[in-house]
A = this chain, B = another copy of it.
Amino acid sequence: MLNQTAEYALRAMSCLAYEPDRLMPTNELAEITKVPPNYLAKVLQSLAQADLIVGRRGVGGGYKLAKPSEQISLLDVINAISPVERITACPLGLENHAGRLCPLHRRLDLAAKQTIDTFGGISLKDVISERDASRPLCDTGRTAQVEMTINRG
Give A residues with C-beta under 8 Å from B: 1-2, 7, 10-11, 14, 33-34, 74, 84-85, 91-97, 100-105, 107-108, 110-112, 114-115, 118-119, 122, 127-128, 130, 132-140, 143
Report the 5 A-B pairs with minimum CB-CB distance, sorted nearest first: A104-B136, A103-B130, A102-B136, A34-B92, A102-B134
Q: In the complex, given contacts A1-B111, A102-B134, A103-B128, what are 18 additional A-B residue pairs having Cβ atoms less than 8 angstroms apart?
A: A1-B84, A7-B91, A11-B92, A14-B104, A33-B92, A34-B92, A34-B93, A94-B134, A94-B137, A94-B138, A94-B139, A96-B143, A100-B133, A102-B135, A102-B136, A102-B137, A103-B135, A114-B115
